[in-house]
A = this chain, B = another copy of it.
Amino acid sequence: MKASMRLSEAFIPTLREDPGEAEIVSHRLMIRAGMIRKTAAGIYTYLPLGLRVIRKIERIIREEMAGIGAQELLMPILSPAELWQETARWEHYGKELFRCQDRHDRDFCLGPTHEEIVTDLFRQEVRSYRQLPLTLYQIQTKFRDEIRPRFGLMRGREFIMKDAYSFDTDESTARKSYGQMYDAYQRIFTRSGLDFRAVEADTGLIGGTSSHEFMVLAQTGEEVILFEPEGSYAANVERAEVSPPTESSDESRLPLEKVHTPGTKTIEEVSAFLHTPPHRLIKTLLYQTDQEEVVAVLIRGDHQANEIKIKRQLGVQELTLADPATVQAVTSAPMGFAGPIGLRHIRIIADHAVHALRNGIVGANEADHHFIHANCNRDFTLDMVADLRQAQAGDPSPRNGKPLQATRGIEVGHVFLLGTKYSEKMKAGYLDAHGKEHLTVMGCYGIGVGRTAAAAIEQNHDAKGIMWPLPIAPFHVHLLPVSPTENVLHVTQTLFHELGDAGIEVLWDDRNERAGVKFNDADLIGIPYQVVIGEKGLAHKTVEIKDRRTSTVTQLSPSELVKFFRQF
């Protein structure tokens, strides 16, 4: 596609109506603006306008990767099963992995990520510490067979990702590589014109010791972020640490008492029935682990359990809430009345806030009954006290103790310090200066390129359409001649060439359409600057420049236009 184009010659099929399939604004606007079309569920064709945005983001990524010495390569999409079997991910990845066989019945998957391939390359090509540090990256199509693909490019099954992998001699140099990548990501999203935040994140399935997510802030985001309004700490809500309460209660312990609470099973019901606020209640959650153990987890009534934290504390991979039969067997009571008092043969673990609570209310392991004035260490004992709950707005920051605030975000980038998770399994080592073999310490880093484009729209739109940040806009200037006269045509044509020659990317709406149609399409497509050329303005020797975002209008002589845009 040329840097500048005439709309009549461009394949930009805009739609006036919202497409039925689209649930969120970026998906809706990308389809309406003629940027993408669905080929199958979660599988899209990038039309010329969409691809231009993708390419702009890719270019920023490439420049910043080069800036930190990362080298681009391109690994294959077809990924042989043998490599994935070495790390056991062939099994662990489950149904999200697209699998296929070749004509000789050999197994392949379509790469969702490339740790195995790049680690295999490393172990074949790198011998010496002299070749380290090494950071390799690619921009490649990835595949993930999502159970419910949706939201357009936000959660697709085939998507474009930048993935990078760093190899270092030890943990401290690996942290340096991690830091450089972290900084590069900051620059990439800043240069892309996005309002984002790097937050501490859980390391999840991919494993590793340190991790940050880059979140584009948007009310429609699927992720919740907690952050210090005036400090540096920010974390995914699932990751955010909750410090133990600093002050202990001086409330005196009252005698334990069993009360009749007919038909009250939920926190809300018990709270209302006993006229007691939820923060005096204790939820007793019974979980079954992948080790076939049942564990009671105590969480304060106004808090939410965080299963990632619980899993980490228990050292298990899977956790499911116990079914009614198991609850009945363990507590001798129907669901809704479990409590720690008198519970035998299973471990009981509690969140810090439960440990600090005096005179709490717990289930009595008996239908329609609760205990009030329950106190731990007196009425029941705990096998472990830890941070097991979801953090929430108002919780003190683990850094400076001040209350955290909550916002929503879209994950567009993720950096992991992997350690030796893959190099150990795949025996990827190097020889040090003394000829001694060590495992390489790895990091892996991803940016969802299509998702970045979608997130930019979630953050930058209004009722009329997209408002592209200039650095990733498909074009810089939208030329809108609104009078069908020779004079207007001539001025437009001149501007089209002058701006183009100055390196400004122009879309010229040269269609024979009413001004209203042109304005609607221009607002929908969202090119940052609209230049309206009409007889009325030209009578005063001016054209009108409208800033798509602010709607600010500037009147300028056509001859001043190149100079005006050069400032950006």
Known: A77-B158, A80-B40, A158-B77. A11 touches B136 (CB 8 A): yes
Interface bits A75-106 vs B (CB < 8 Å: 1, else 0): 11111100000000000000100111011001
In contact, B78 and A143 (Cβ under 8 angstroms): yes
Interface segment among A117-125, A314-322, A487-495: the answer is: A117-125
Which chain B residues border A106 with CB–CB below 8 Å? 40
In contact, B125 and A13 (Cβ under 8 angstroms): yes
CB of A1 closer than 8 Å to a CB of B:
yes
A1-23 CB contacts (< 8 Å) to partner B:
1-2, 9-11, 13
Which chain B residues border A75 with CB–CB below 8 Å? 39, 45
CB of A74 closer than 8 Å to a CB of B:
yes
- How near does chain B come to A21, taking the closest CB pair, in angstroms? 13
Known: A110-B100, A136-B11, A147-B103. A78 touches B47 (CB 8 A): no
Which chain B residues border A51 with CB–CB below 8 Å? 72-74
CB of A522 closer than 8 Å to a CB of B:
no
In contact, A46 and B66 (Cβ under 8 angstroms): no
Indicate which residue in B98, B99, B121, B141 contacts A45 across the interface (CB closer than 8 Å): B121
Instruction: Report the separation of the CA atoms of residues A106 and B43 in the bound assembly, to the nearest whole angstrom.
Output: 13
Indicate which residue in B11, B45, B71 contacts A11 across the interface (CB closer than 8 Å): B71
Instruction: Report the separation of the CA atoms of residues A45 and B137 in the bound assembly, to the nearest whole angstrom.
Output: 12
Instruction: Report the separation of the CA atoms of residues A80 and B40 in the bound assembly, to the nearest whole angstrom.
Output: 7
Interface bits A364-396 vs B (CB < 8 Å: 1, else 0): 000000000000000000000000000000000
Which chain B residues border A72 with CB–CB below 8 Å? 1, 48, 51
What residue in chain B is nearest A63 (Cβ atoms)? B2
Which chain B residues border A37 with CB–CB below 8 Å? 121, 124-125
CB of A231 closer than 8 Å to a CB of B:
no
CB of A307 closer than 8 Å to a CB of B:
no
- How near does chain B come to A374, taking the closest CB pair, in angstroms? 46
- How near does chain B come to A238, taking the closest CB pair, in angstroms? 25
Instruction: Report the separation of the CA atoms of residues A138 and B51 in the bound assembly, to the nearest whole angstrom.
Output: 10
Instruction: Report the separation of the CA atoms of residues A103 and B97 in the bound assembly, to the nearest whole angstrom.
Output: 9
Query: Interface residue count for A (Cβ, 8 Å)?
Result: 51
CB of A69 closer than 8 Å to a CB of B:
yes
Which chain B residues border A136 with CB–CB below 8 Å? 11
Instruction: Report the separation of the CA atoms of residues A71 and B11 in the bound assembly, to the nearest whole angstrom.
Output: 7
Which chain B residues border A74 with CB–CB below 8 Å? 45-46, 51, 54
- How near does chain B come to A31, taking the closest CB pair, in angstroms? 11
CB of A426 closer than 8 Å to a CB of B:
no
CB of A108 closer than 8 Å to a CB of B:
yes
Known: A45-B75, A76-B44, A147-B103. A69 touches B9 (CB 8 A): yes
What residue in chain B is nearest A81 (Cβ atoms)? B40
Which chain B residues border A9 with CB–CB below 8 Å? 69
The residue in A76, A106, A121, A134 that gathers the most chain B C-beta atoms within 10 A of its C-beta is A76
- How near does chain B come to A77, taking the closest CB pair, in angstroms? 6
CB of A535 closer than 8 Å to a CB of B:
no
Instruction: Report the separation of the CA atoms of residues A259 and B407 in the bound assembly, to the nearest whole angstrom.
Output: 98
In contact, A66 and B102 (Cβ under 8 angstroms): no
In contact, A145 and B102 (Cβ under 8 angstroms): yes
Instruction: Report the separation of the CA atoms of residues A69 and B10 in the bound assembly, to the nearest whole angstrom.
Output: 9
23 A/B residue pairs, CB under 8 Å, sorted by A = A1-B71, A9-B69, A11-B73, A11-B125, A11-B134, A11-B136, A37-B124, A39-B117, A40-B76, A40-B80, A40-B106, A43-B78, A43-B80, A46-B73, A47-B73, A48-B72, A77-B77, A77-B110, A78-B143, A100-B100, A100-B110, A103-B147, A141-B141
7 other contacts beyond A40-B78, A78-B157, A103-B145, with CB at 8 A cut-off?
A11-B73, A11-B136, A37-B121, A39-B117, A45-B117, A51-B73, A77-B77
Q: Which 10 A-B pairs have the closest CB atoms?
A: A100-B100, A46-B74, A40-B80, A48-B71, A13-B125, A95-B103, A2-B66, A43-B76, A45-B75, A103-B145
Which residues of A line the B interface, CB within 8 A?
Answer: 1-2, 9-11, 13, 37, 39-40, 43-48, 51, 54, 66, 69, 71-80, 95, 98-100, 102-103, 106, 108, 110, 117, 120-121, 124-125, 134, 136, 141, 143, 145, 147, 157-158
